[in-house]
Chains A and B, each alone.
Chain A
């Protein structure tokens, strides 16, 4: 019965989430939570990033390309990409039992699959690229926050990629679509759709991750995609800024 302690995404009793055309935290429907990104925050990792998205606090680290352990996982013609999403026991209201549960195994899988076609694995045969993301504080949208942090960490590690991944969710609450839902909207809302996009040459090229639970019409789903794309472009600008900031600082030191 290991399911019991998992977040089973159960809908609780009704709470009004849209009051006078505004969200509970005063945001507009298409407004992101405040985002803070810092690249290169860990010394031992090859690349790292600390990111806050509203009350979410996550840290990402990238190790590699490096030797793969266990050896039998090696691939002769390309690098193996691994992604581990993990929540700290203190990151949620009720202590989470440490270690992987079914939810984090699934998130790790779809997140890894989002990066695999983007990372230029063919340049690093027999090696491994490990992406570790830790959720220190959770407030809905942790998988999107982690993906955004992982992208910055990968760039910081100098891993060649075909584009950058940027992620954001859209939820349906009180019958309207809202960008980047926070905890209350996620718990009491009618639907949640996390997206990740590949951005290349400054524009959205394709969908790298999409999941959904809840209830939405086909039309709403298409509208949600458009809304997520706009949000993703804003996050993309912040990811770039964080990377530039780190390397601007490096240049000055060397002069």
Chain B
């Protein structure tokens, strides 16, 4: 109960600040929280990354193993993305099978990577129709202070960037770096009345779960979108959000280039 009352108080605070065009943490409306990316911290994984987006923390591990290709694309590697919102990351997360939020999170991250063709899957064929490399991208939330989607997407591409294909371990020749050729970046905005807040925090989300995620690639194409939450979006705002998200993604992409 106290949690609910607190949320109501926070909501009033967020809204009153916003009436003056301000955010509770002093950021500009389109300002992303400070980002830190740490890679290669799990030596058991083929690739890994921890992303801190403000106080939100997500770790992504990439594991690879040979497996069967899909019959319709016999010469391509396979990507499988999964997200676990473990109870350690938030008082509102519960243990158990993935709920719709974690399924949506995994699928939105997956679409960005898949549709931007970030990984050159044609280079991951071992034996056409028989054996290809499978990439398991596992998203593990550690601390949910809002906008897990963008943090997860960033951690996923960061982890892929430092993934080594473990060919030696499976007796398939020398290890080689995973061929990554695109840098998708997801930008999520919270819609509050006539305004929108980029990269919302947990406290800001108290005004209502009304978000849209727009993922763009290194050529500024849109590669994935997801409107999420019970609300209606005006066409005008939709167009604005597309433009802003593509611009913001450029800033974040600069960080990826340093990995």
A contact set with B: CB distance below 8 Å:
1, 3, 8-12, 102-103, 105-106, 108-110, 112-113, 116-118, 191, 193, 198, 204-218, 221-222, 225, 229
CB-CB under 8 A from B224, the residues of chain A are 212-213
What are 8 inter-chain pairs, A to B, with CB distance below 8 A? A10-B70, A10-B73, A12-B72, A106-B107, A109-B104, A206-B232, A206-B233, A214-B223
B51 in the interface (beta carbon within 8 A):
no
In the assembled complex, B2 has its CB within 8 A of some CB on chain A: no
Q: B174 interface residue, CB < 8 Å from A? A: no
B40 at the interface (CB under 8 A from A): no
List residues of B whose CB falls within 8 A of some A CB.
70, 72-73, 76, 80, 82, 98, 100, 103-104, 106-107, 111, 114-116, 212, 217, 220-235, 238-239, 242-243, 246
CA distance A193 to B214 in the complex (A): 12
Whole-angstrom CA separation of A206 from B212 in the bound complex: 14
Min CB–CB distance A76 → chain B (angstroms)? 13
Inter-chain contacts of B70 with A (CB < 8 A)? 8, 10
The tally of CB-CB contacts under 8 A between chains A and B is: 106
The answer to whether A105 and B221 have CB atoms under 8 Å apart is no
B225 engages A210 (CB within 8 Å): yes
By a CB distance below 8 angstroms, the chain B residues around A8 are: 70
CB pair B230–A221 under 8 Å, yes or no, is no
* Shortest 3 CB-CB contacts between residues of A and residues of B: A116-B230, A212-B225, A206-B232
- Given A193-B225, A221-B242: A205 in contact with B232 (beta carbons within 8 A): yes
Apart from A12-B72, A116-B230, what 10 extra A-B contacts exist at CB < 8 Å?
A: A106-B104, A110-B104, A110-B228, A193-B225, A207-B232, A209-B227, A210-B238, A213-B223, A218-B222, A218-B246
Residue among A108, A198, A212, A225 facing the most chain B CB atoms (10 A cut-off): A212
Q: With CB as the reference atom, state the residue of chain A lying closest to B224.
A: A213
Return the chain A residue nearest B107 by Cβ: A106
Please judge, given known A-B contacts A207-B238, A210-B233, A216-B222, whether A106 and B100 are in contact too, CB under 8 Å.
yes
Task: State the Cβ distance, A103 to closest chain B Cβ, in Å.
Answer: 8
Contacts of A116 in B (CB 8 A): 230
**CB within 8 Å for A221 and B222 given contacts A106-B104, A213-B111:** yes
Q: How far is the CA of A148 from the CA of B155 in the complex (A)?
A: 37
Chain B residues near A213 (CB, 8 Å)? 111, 114-115, 223-224
List A contacts of B82 (CB < 8 A).
3
Collect the chain B residues with CB atoms within 8 Å of residue A229's CB.
235
Which residue of A is nearest B79, CB measured?
A8
Residues B116 and A215 in contact, CB atoms below 8 Å apart: yes
Q: Is the CB of B222 within 8 A of A217?
A: yes
Is A198's CB under 8 angstroms from B225's CB? no
* B73 A106 Cβ-Cβ under 8 A: no
B230: A residues at CB distance < 8 A: 112-113, 116-117
Across-interface contacts of A191 in B (CB, < 8 A): 115
Q: Note all chain B residues with C-beta closer than 8 A to A1.
A: 80
B216 to chain A, nearest CB (A): 8
Contact A117 B100 (CB under 8 A): no
Closest to B104 in A: A106
Q: Is the CB of B226 within 8 A of A225?
A: no
Q: Are B228 and A113 in contact (CB under 8 A)?
A: yes
Asked if A225 and B115 make an inter-chain contact with CB atoms under 8 angstroms apart, the answer reads: no
A102 to B111, CA, bound (A): 13
CB distance from B192 to the nearest CB of A (A): 15
**Which residues on B sit within 8 Å (CB–CB) of A106?**
100, 103-104, 107
Complex-state Cα separation, A1 to B239, whole angstroms? 38
In the complex the two chains form, is B232's CB within 8 Å of A117's CB?
A: yes
Beta-carbon nearest neighbor of A226 in chain B = B235
Query: Is there contact, CB below 8 Å, between A206 and B234?
Result: yes
Residues in A whose Cβ lies below 8 Å from that of B98: 102
CA distance A118 to B232 in the complex (A): 9
* A residues less than 8 Å from B225 (CB atoms): 193, 210-212
A214 to B242 alpha-carbon distance, docked (Å): 15
Which chain A residue shows the least CB distance to B116?
A: A215
Within the complex, which residue of A105, A198, A214, A218 is in contact with B220, where a contact is CB–CB below 8 Å?
A: A218
Structural contact, B243 and A214, CB atoms closer than 8 A: no
Q: Which of A3, A9, A198 has the most CB of B within 10 A?
A: A3
Minimum CB–CB distance for B107 against chain A, Å: 5
* CB–CB B235/A206 < 8 A: yes
Knowing A218-B246, A222-B239, A222-B242, the reply to whether A208 touches B232 (Cβ < 8 A) is: yes
Is B227's CB under 8 angstroms from A211's CB? yes
Chain B residues, Cβ within 8 Å of A214? 115, 223
Q: Tell me if B114 and A9 are in contact (CB < 8 A).
A: yes
